[in-house]
Structure 1
Amino acid sequence: MENKELILRTSNELFAGVEQLIFSARKKVAISLNKETTLLYFNIGYYINTNLKENNQLPYGAKILATLSQLLTNSFGKGKIQSSPIFNRITQ
């Protein structure tokens, strides 16, 4: 009887430790993903704005952005990052 109790107690202790490692890793991944997503959006905006200014196309900006948005949606899907299964799993 004592062996079963020892095995169960040890298993539960190991489970708790491994569980904490998993939660900690998930949190780090979520933080990193959030950081990279924010930087990506900033860099996309900066790239578009700089390109439109350098090419004197600011007056056409709204139409260019609408067309670009459609091209990106067709290529990558709408809201691809937030709706991805990986994003959903790591932020649970």
Structure 2
Amino acid sequence: MEKEENKNMVLNNELIQAYKQMLSNPKDYNLPFKSIDEIFDPSDNAIAKHSVFEKYQSLIQRDIPKVVFYIIMDGLFVQRKADDGNLGWLLTFNV
């Protein structure tokens, strides 16, 4: 019987901070995408979190854990109900 690979991620502060550092400063890690600060600007209108996540992943062409992205963005942008009734962030895309 083959050993089953553990695919569970351990969510801790170090992991969140590592992703935040990488997404905030991608050039420091030779990553070919813009930083969070370059992609998003604060706004008075909320965009649903799931929509932001999907578009962000499409823009950077990388898969990142949704829960990690949500935790990082919750710390950066104010949350409000979006027009579609889902929880969102007060931001706009700057791309």
TM-score (norm 2): 0.26
Larger C-alpha radius of gyration, 1 or 2? 1
Higher RCO (C-alpha 8 Å, min separation 6): 1
